[in-house]
Amino acid sequence: MAIPLQGKAQQQQGEGGKGGGAADDDGDDQPSVASELRELWGMAAPITALNCVVYLRAMVSVLCLGRLGPLDLAGGALAIGLTNITGHSVLFGLASGLEPLCAQAFGSKNYDLLTLSLQRAVLLLTLAALPIALLWLHVGPILVALGQDPTISASAAAYAAYALPDLAASAVLQPLRVYLRSQGITKPMAACSAIAVALHVPLNVLLVFGLGFGVRGVAAAQALTNTNMVLFLLAYIRWSRACDATWKGWARPAAVASGLAGLVRLAVPSCVGVCLEWWWYEVVTVLAGYLPNPAAAVGAAGVLIQTTSLMYTVPMALAACVSTRVGNELGGGKPRRARMAAMVALGCAVVIGVVHVAWTAAFSREWVELFTREAAVVRLAAAAMPILGLCELGNCPQTTGCGVLRGTARPAVGARINLLSFYLVGTAVAVTLAFGARVGFGGLWYGLLSAQAACVALVLLAVVWRTDWHLEALRAKKLTGLEMIAAAAGDDDECKRLIAPLPPPDGHDVAIVDVV
């Protein structure tokens, strides 16, 4: 399909003008590494703080469950794992599919598409939340049918039922974060999250202990905290007027629905990629239950998973921000700047991985003893901590590389890599070493190490050696152009408004570039 690209390509494709193409003319606008580092970490530092705040919120919930006693702790922990697997990972993954659309739309100054994409994502996540809610309402009978203790299942069912409003809040919160991040608005997000989590502590005290809701209060507090985050972000958008230029108002239902399929094509593989990685850690926990001394093995696995979740806050922020940086530059027709953003982020990821290796090797036992004093658990977890640190050498670059793939609207590549690496390589190595070779608990984490090694090799192959950045810039033009056509298909007047081309600058002809 031929996409019209105006002479200077809407002033977003550089000043070089070599042939008038969309992806060739940013050579004189090449940033330095230092300027890219400032740009990247100006976004990533607040997102890292936000992720740490969210991690603290989860820790507060677990501490409150622990105060309720072993029964509610077991039921609540079971429910948290179940709701994460069946709900939050799905919504987070679907929202990740919004990243290339928002980032590239903002980079190309296509603010109509930016607005429409946000509204479509909220609709998509709301629709996805409906079957998830139905599942959560039947958690109790499902767990009993799977052989779980009826009393623990009842506690888990109570948590899941009171967590239902959290689904509705997340269906708005996750797309809203992507929408703001694509515009480089990250500090206000971190501030709003910090305020909401500060209120999370008194909410837990009131609902769990003051009103005696117990495990139901923990779930309700979680839902209220996410709702507060949504309200604070909406209030910021409304009164700061930071998004006045990019928010184009509520679109007609036909315009929103007509382009939903395009978002789904990006959201589903993004969701699959996220879920495949998140769920693998639950597989490790299940496998640990089949080892000798399963109580200690499962406890040690829990400590290591909490540890890797904390370490993940930095590369996850880096991945989200490089996705935005790459998408912005490709949308603006600047492939060289997009490549620079990707390479700088990958370099940062390697440094972060080295830091993680160093501290896990140096403070393994001291760190584990912050979680538990149980000798058997400490012994297993401390012995596996250096392996976990080595995993970060692969995890940080591969997570960042997957962010680059999302920024280039190629989430399906990341999903295939995760499937191959974690399930065909990692699971096979983990089972073989832990049970076949009788390595035991450490064998599970050598499985993770092999998965991360395979994953980072394939991601770097896809990002560094196989990415044609000029072609990706053309694909970005095609994506934003075709999405606007789809967006407006339901209304002729809106179609004319949204896809009317800009007039070519004086003295320049319109260049036609065939991108299919």
Give residue for tokens 């939050």: 88
Return the closest-CA partner of residue 330 out of 501, 181, 467. 467
Helices marked H in 138-186: 139-145, 150-162, 164-181
- In angstroms, the Cα distances linking 306 to 17, 58, 68, 128, 388 are 51, 10, 21, 27, 12
Decide: 76 and 84 in contact? Cβ < 8 Å: no
- Compute the distance between CA of residue 131 and CA of residue 151 in angstroms, rounded to an integer: 25
Q: Name the least confident of 235-239, 318-322, 507-511.
A: 507-511
- Compute the distance between CA of residue 388 and CA of residue 304 in angstroms, rounded to an integer: 8
- Compute the distance between CA of residue 425 and CA of residue 431 in angstroms, rounded to an integer: 10
Banded model confidence at residue 134, pLDDT cuts 50, 70, 90: very high
Tens-digit pLDDT profile for residues 143-171: 888 887 888 889 889 999 999 999 999 99
Decide: 219 and 58 in contact? Cβ < 8 Å: no
Using the predicted structure, report yes or no on whether residue 87 has a pLDDT greater than 90.
yes
Q: Average the pLDDT over 315-332 and give the result.
A: 94
Single-letter amino acid code for the residue at 472 = E
Q: Average the pLDDT over 369-396 and give the result.
A: 90
Tens-digit pLDDT profile for residues 413-467: 999 999 999 999 999 999 999 999 999 999 999 999 999 999 999 998 888 888 9
Q: Average the pLDDT over 26-52 and give the result.
A: 84
The H-or-E segment that residue 438 falls in is none
The H-or-E segment that residue 2 falls in is strand 2-5
Give residue for tokens 């095609």: 478
Predicted confidence at residue 497, as pLDDT, reads 39
Percent of the residues in the chain that have a pLDDT greater than 90, as a whole number: 57
Using the predicted structure, report yes or no on whether residue 12 has a pLDDT greater than 60.
no
Q: Average the pLDDT over 343-351 and give the result.
A: 95
Paired strand residues for 5? 511
- Compute the distance between CA of residue 407 and CA of residue 270 in angstroms, rounded to an integer: 11
Decide: 76 and 65 in contact? Cβ < 8 Å: yes
| Contact partners, residue 441, CB within 8 Å, separation at least 6 | 288, 291, 297, 300, 301, 380, 383, 384, 434
- Compute the distance between CA of residue 474 and CA of residue 480 in angstroms, rounded to an integer: 10
Using the predicted structure, report yes or no on whether residue 34 has a pLDDT greater than 70.
yes
Mean pLDDT score across all residues of the chain: 85
Predicted confidence at residue 79, as pLDDT, reads 87
Angle of helix 294-331 relative to helix 335-362, nearest 10 degrees, comes to: 160
Give residue for tokens 């390479």: 343
Banded model confidence at residue 20, pLDDT cuts 50, 70, 90: very low
- In angstroms, the Cα distances linking 452 to 393, 421, 430 are 8, 7, 12
